[in-house]
Structures are given as C-alpha cells and as structure tokens.
Structure 1
Amino acid sequence: MKIPEIPQNESERLVALDRYKILDTLTEQVYDDLTQLAADICGTSIALISLVDEDRQWFKSHIGLDVKQTPRDISFCGHAVSENALLIVPDASKDPRFSDNPLVAQEPYIRFYAGAPLTTPDNYTLGTLCVIDRQPHELTHTQIKQLESLSRLVINQFELRLKEETSRLLASVVESSNDAIITKTSEGIITSWNQSAVNIFGYSQSEAIGKPISMLFPPDRLEEENRILARLKKGERVEHFETVRICKDGSHSDISATISPLFDSNGEIIGFSKIVRDITELKQAQLELAKSNAELVKANQLKDEFLGLMSHELRTPLNAILGMTELLQDEIFGSLNPQQIIALTTIDLSSSHLLKLIDDILDLTNIAAGRLKLNFEVTDINHLCQNSLDLIERSAAKKHLNLELNIQPNLSAIVIDSTRIQQVLLNLLDNAIKFTPEGGSIRLEVSTYVNHLNLSNWLRFTIIDTGIGFELEKFSQLFQPFMQIDSTLSRRYEGLGLGLAIVKQIVELHDGKLEANSILGKGSCFTFELPFENNFGSSRATKQTMDMDMNIQSDIPTRPQVHPLILLAEDNESNILTTVSYLEAKEYRVCVAKNGREAIAFAKEFCPDMILMDIQMPEMDGLKAIELIRLDPSLQNIPIIAMTALAMASDRQKCLEAGANDYVAKPVKFRQLVATIQKMLLNIKP
C-alpha cells in the first residue's frame, strides 16, 4: 500500500482549511444535496465531501457510507490532495497503490474511486468531492466534467460560508455602534462625521464637516434623495433605506441608511441624523449565493436531462428485444421447442427486470422533484388485488410459494390512483417473493376501518410472508433509496434498494401510512393504509381496465372484418422490423414513415385507419407532426397513439396536448398495444 505524500505547502494548506471553520461541524442539507447529486450523476452508491486534516480525512457529507472519518494514511483522497489533481481508480483491487489498502481489503470494500480536488481560490487543495463504488466502474467524459463542476460548487459554498461569517461579524460591529453616524443641517450641510464614516467613505472629519452631503450622491441618485428629503421634512423617519454612495476614491458603496429628523425645543426640524451601514460585502455575498443557487439549479437540470437521455437510449433497444421476444413467444415465426421457450422466458424476465430498474430510478427522481402527479379514479379493490397477484403468480410458482388473498366481503370501490397503488402492491409482493425461501407462503389481506377520533375512513392493505425477516433496529434503512438491510443481502439478492423508497413516497402522496414489523428468521408484515372519502357501491362497480396478464388476448375486442391500415412513424430499423412483423401477423396492413414529414405526407396519401407515432425522429419530430396532422380537417379524426421511449413525467402530457389520443411508453407490450388499437378502431366505427 502506498501512503499519500505530504504536499510541500502542507502548513499553509492546513491554515487555509482552518480558516473555513468547517471541520467537525454538523451536517448541512446543501452539502448533502451536492453529494447525492454526484452519486446520482456518476451512478455510484457512495459519495463524500472529504476534507484532509493533519492525520485524518473527515467527511462533511457522506452518502452511502456510515462513517465520519478515516485515517489519512489509508485515504484515497490524500493522494488527490498531494497531487492536486483529479484521481480516478477504476478497480482498486488491481491498482498496486491500493490493492492491499484496508479500505479495499475490508469494509467498505472499495473498488472504484473518483475524486475531484476541492481547491480554494488561492490554490490550496483542502480535500475532494469523491464518488465510490464497491464494484469496478468507469465514468464518461461528461460525468467527469460534471463531477469537477460539483467540486467547484462545494468550494463556492465554503466561500459563501466564509463570507456569511464575515457578514455576521460586520453586523455585530454595527450593533455596537460602529456604524457611520452623520448629522446634517436642513440644507444638507454635514455637521458631524464619526470615525466609521471616515472608514466607510474615506473622507476625514476635516474634509467632510461643512461640506454638502450631496458630494456622496451619484448623479443618478439625486432624485431619489429629493424624495427622501420630502418625507423627512414631514417629520417621517426613514429606516433601512438601501442605496449607493460615492467614496473619496471614486468607488461606489452599497449602504443601508436609517435617517431621522432632528427637532429643536419648539418642535421645529433643524436637521437630520443618519446612521449608515456599509452593506457592499453583504450585497456581493447575496449575488454570489444567487449565482451558486443558479448553478445548482443548472446541475439539477443536467441530471434530469441525463436521466431522460439514459431512459430513452435504454428503452429503444429494449423495445426491440422485448418485442422480438413477444413475437417468438407467440410463435409468429414458427413453433418452439421446450429449450427455446425456456431461453425466451429468460430473455423476457431479464429485460423486464432491467426495464423495472429504469422505471424505478425515474419514479424516484420525479417524486423527489415533486413532479409525480396522482391520477385518482374509481377503483375496484377486488380486481386490483387479484390482478396484482396474477402478475406475480409466475414468480411465486418458481419458488413453490403459496399465495393467499383475503379481502373483506362487499368491499366498496374507492377513489385512488390505481396504477400507483398497484405499483405499491407489486413492489411489496415482489419483495416478499424475493426474501421468502422455497415452500413458504405470502398472504395479502385487505380491510377497512373507521378512525373514531376523527371519523375518517381508512383502507388497510397487509402483506404477510414467511421469509427471512429483518432486525427491527434496521427499520429506518428500509425506505432509504439505494439502501439494503445488510451488505450481504446486496450480494445475495437483486435490486438497487429503490422499491420500498418508492412505496413510501407513493403512500405518503395519498396521505397514507406505512408500517413494517418482522421477526428475524420468521417473516415480515408490511401494512399500508389509505384514507378515503367516497363510497361508490359494491365491488361490481369496476372501472374499465384492460387485463395486463399474459392472457390479455382473451380481452381483446373482436377486430373489424376489413384489414385496417396502420401508419407506423418510426426511424429505428429494429423497432420497425419488430412492430411491422407483429402487426402483419395480426392481419393488419402497415405502411412505414421514417420521419415526421413522411408521416404527414403518407397520412394525406393513404388516409390510414390508425397512426402509431414515434416522437424523436429526424427532420421533424413526432410532436410537431401530430400538431400539423390535427390542423388538417381531412386527418383530424384519425386516431393517433404516441409510441415513444420518452418516459419522463411530462412526456405523456406533451403527447396528449399535441393531439395524440393515447400514449404508450417503450418497450411496448404488443398484446396490450393490439388490444388498444382494436378497441380504438371499434370505437370509431359507425
């Protein structure tokens, strides 16, 4: 193991570190936000703001690592400080400098490290903003640049902290009467001028007394002073008036002035007193803070853009993979032998798992940003619960788990966001399956009760399993993003630790409550409760919902006798092949446009029965094409389904506002797509 070298300017560096007075301070949200943002952008489980002291590295903020400091001799950040440069270690176990480092060989088992130096304006490196992972990792050029940008924001926060401390000290001096105190006659001639006035404006007492106060006024502030003088002559007091004054050296100072009239024994105004505070540094600090906040907003925008791009670029090939898998499973290209069926099932499950991870990350980001909006509708609870169990039945059967459903008789339909509550149920049921050994059981219970304190109605869902359980002391970790109950679990079980975090947020968006109990080695019980107001009758009052089970074809409406013509607007060749193959196998006619302009031209030429519109296409995007199609009276009634890999919270709304009738996020489930197409075509038939 190589011990970090001590920089030549170590003494001065430690003095620079000390001047910020930040070591051993309490956690602060602004720094935690920056480290979390670094972890999100770089895709790592750990991020730190590490400050290298004389014999230790201390963490001002630590995400994903539950320690506050480690010895300097074994620190990665010590190397970055000594080199005063970005340090990237793709795989520490293969790097001779770190392979036998205790932080690599033991907990926390560091494999990847990237640290951007925290360098002060006077060029002293205090530590790093670093991202760490327990697996080898690589950063893109963009991620490296964003990490360096965030490190500069950390230093900006340190500088703002220093300036704010200076401002507080200045305020203390002002409160002890060290403000400039000036008196003047009714005509504006200076009669007194204290030392603080000398300090602020640069004029000595002899230079100022007897001179007009207007010598301090910039030409563009004369009218402002006249308005103030008019108020003072009425006997008013002007408090904390902020303006600008000219100093002896020609510089401009921001000041805050409190001005009061002076009266003689007869109550006549004989002059004015002015208490002046120099707020130049405060104004500058406010400007720098606003600039820093703007940079943080921009960094968040970059994160959102990155997540949106990541989602689109992953969904596009997944659409072809899942689509082709569905075509093969439906034996559109010929019959399958048992080995091929098993192979396709493996592809389907693995691709679906990757899609769920993408959706979970986007959901968590949207919830954190307050962009997730609930879509409340009348929901049949029996149908919701049975459908949820149907969706996880195959996974449970693989482990020979017994599934039970116990619903209170005659349970009424209630108003909830059925899609999001089903997401909650599926996450909790998936977890139960994951952590329950073979041959165990999982039970879903649903009931209502009345809170007699405020007579409110509540719907209670309980998921009980006979799984491995967890220690109640670790309950707080359950609902934290990217957290697992134990590090060994993260190796034995799949997942990023996002599911329960999303569950908690969705339940809270419903103003609900979430609880968990467990006995280690015996099982767990998760309960969430939702308030509800309205009763809509018996469980027969079911909303019209397509069954998303593998047997969805049974619910597909009868197709019209004439083979409908579908216009597919899509520029990705793999997706074209997949979609056209499936639709033609279902006896649809298909024509293909590869950009928005072609889509408009083909719509006018062929007048299709339905348009499937991708959004991101060359020459003209799908949104613009939809808008122009809707402006043509001859095309206004053609149903359009937006079919895109853009899956952020606002994308569906943008498509509908442009004029689409429906929206489908890629990867597309073709059985569900065909059901939607046939239902829409039947609805427009006379």
Structure 2
Amino acid sequence: MHQAADKLPAHAESRRLSALRSYGILDTPAEAVFDDITRIAAAICGTPISVVNLIDADRQWFKSEVGLGVRETPLETSICAHAILEHDFLEVQNTTTDPRFAGNPLVTGDPGLRFYAGALLKTPDGLPLGTVCVLDTVPRELTPQQIDTLRALARQVMAQLELRRMLVEAQALNQHRARVLATAGHDLKGPLRAALYALSKARAADGADRDARLESAEQDLAYINQKFGDMIAGATGKGGAAAPELRPTELAPVLDEVGRVWTRAARRKHIDLVVDPSACTASTNAGLLETLIGNLLSNAIKYTPDGGRVTVGCHAVEDAIEIVVADTGIGMDTARVEDYFTAFRQADASSEGLGIGLWIVRQAADVLGARIDVHSTLGAGTRITVSLPTP
C-alpha cells in the first residue's frame, strides 16, 4: 500500500485552498500560454510527461498536461500532494525505492512511473498551490540547469495566475464604480428635489417661515454632500476598509433622520408618513442602513397613491431586530418579487427612474448581513421587513 501524503495543518490548508480559489483557475479550459510551458518543460527535461497541476481539496487538477491525456486524478495517488509540503522543489529519482511512492498505483501499475521532479507554484505569501512537474517511466536525475528551468517555468505560471487575478479584480472594480455612479442620481434625487423646493418657497417667505425653509434646505444639502462623499469614497476604493464596520447602533436616530429626509416628498403627495422607532439597538452600519431604509421609503412613497399611508418602525424579536416599512400602495406581484430586487427593474414600467431602488436595498442588506422579507398584495400595499442581528 502506498503512503498517503502528509497534510498541512488545518488552518494552513484552509488558507491555501482559499488562495487557490481566489485565482479562479480551476476547471477552466486549456490555454496556449500554459500548454507552451508544459511542452517546454518536457523538452528541456527530456521526459514523456509534463504537467501544470493544482492541488484541490480532494483532487489534483491539470491546467495543462503532456503525455497523460486526463485533466484530473484523485489526490490519493498524487505525488504532487507530497511536493507541496517541500520548500520549493521535489525530485524523486526512483519511485520504487522511495517508501512514500513505492506502493502508489501509478508506480505499481499503469503508467509505471519511476521518476518525478516538481517545482512548486507559490503565491506571494508563500502558499503552495501546485507544481510544474515532469515525470518519466525510467529512473533518472535532472541536471542543475534543468532544475533551474523548472523553477523558472513555475514562476512564469504564477505570473500568469497573478495577471489573471489582477484583471478579474480590475473588472470587478470597474463594474462596482459603474453601479455606484448609476445609483447616485437615484439615491440623491429625492433630497435634492426637497432642497430645491424649500429654497423656492423661501424666496416668497418672510421672517421665521423663511428661516425655517432655509434651515430645511441646508439640512438636505448637507445630507446630499455627505452621500456624495460616501459615493466617491466607495467608487474610488478610498475611505477605509473594503467593508463598512458593523457596530452596536441605536436605530431611533437613524430612522428619524431618514424619515426627516423623506417627509416633504410624502407631503407633496398628501401621504401620511409615520416614523415610530422604538428603543432598539442592532449590529449595523448607520450610513449604509440609512441608504437601505431611505430606498425603501422612496419606493413606498413613489408607489403609494396620493392620500395613502407609509409607516416605518422597529422592534425586537428573539435574537434579531426588525425594521418594518409598510405602505398602502399598489403592491407587488409576489411571483416577481426577486425581479424587483434586480437592477433596472421597476414595479411600474411607466414610472420615471432607473429601477434600482430595491437592487440597492438588496446589495446593502447583503453587506449588513440583514435578511429581507416581503409580503405584498396587489392593489392593497406592501410590508417589507429588514432583520438585523443584535449586538
């Protein structure tokens, strides 16, 4: 019986597998740049078999191979699973005399492997992903020049993988920036309209009424300025950690502020907007939660007929805090709820806007670790519950 490969400590193996998957290379089609590397390795070392392989959790997968004719084999028979435990290189000149491999089915049976040499594929952090290796059916020994060449080819493979990952990350960042810019007008349109409305009324007002309208406009413009700052930081990747910090947050001030921003929009439609926050504390991010609830209120006001009612409040249930936004609006088709939470989809195709309000809600909820539940009846209204974790 052949000797199974030792394994890295569990925490190191978890990091290794996470790094491997971050490159998005597993199960991708053959590519010329990697096929060139295996052909060069076989030619330089004079072996019938050459492989660029990656060690997954329970298999070794071949990005490129010469002389094998398969794309993966079980980890139990993998010589490379031993190789990744080495510093940077493993050479086995005669597998039949090495107790780790003498009983390996690939040695005792077809194809009768007798020789193995592999240079490790290592991440910039030193995590081993696999090897560039050559194999033969007769014992042999590589020259120092051949060993150096295998190491150089392994570096080339890692350079290709790093370029691939950088390209994927750049594409994801560009998509993120495009979405941030697309949401800006939607998220800020309501407060901007409210500020402009207050300023237009202030021109015709006197005394205390004028001062109150100017103060209202100033608050809305300050809110817009803050949101623009958040938008720019998010679009450029600046402003701190990639994910917002979640901390114990009192919800009453958050709901009061969002309610204040959308009160005038509700009044213009003679909608009764009721904000009823209880003394609740949740583990969340206040700024992102304001965006989430603001978009729910915007949607509720938009799709509630004149003279209707919109409410927002919070309460504790078991190990969660629920924020509930309810309206007496047109309602949703329950069969299409998931569609409404997709970007550029609207409940009413004739309405203005980009149709991204509920998409923003879904994205924010995912970041906050919140659950969204929707109960709606066409022609009667909608009730959306946001469940947040407790501190």
TM-score normalised to structure 2 length: 0.46
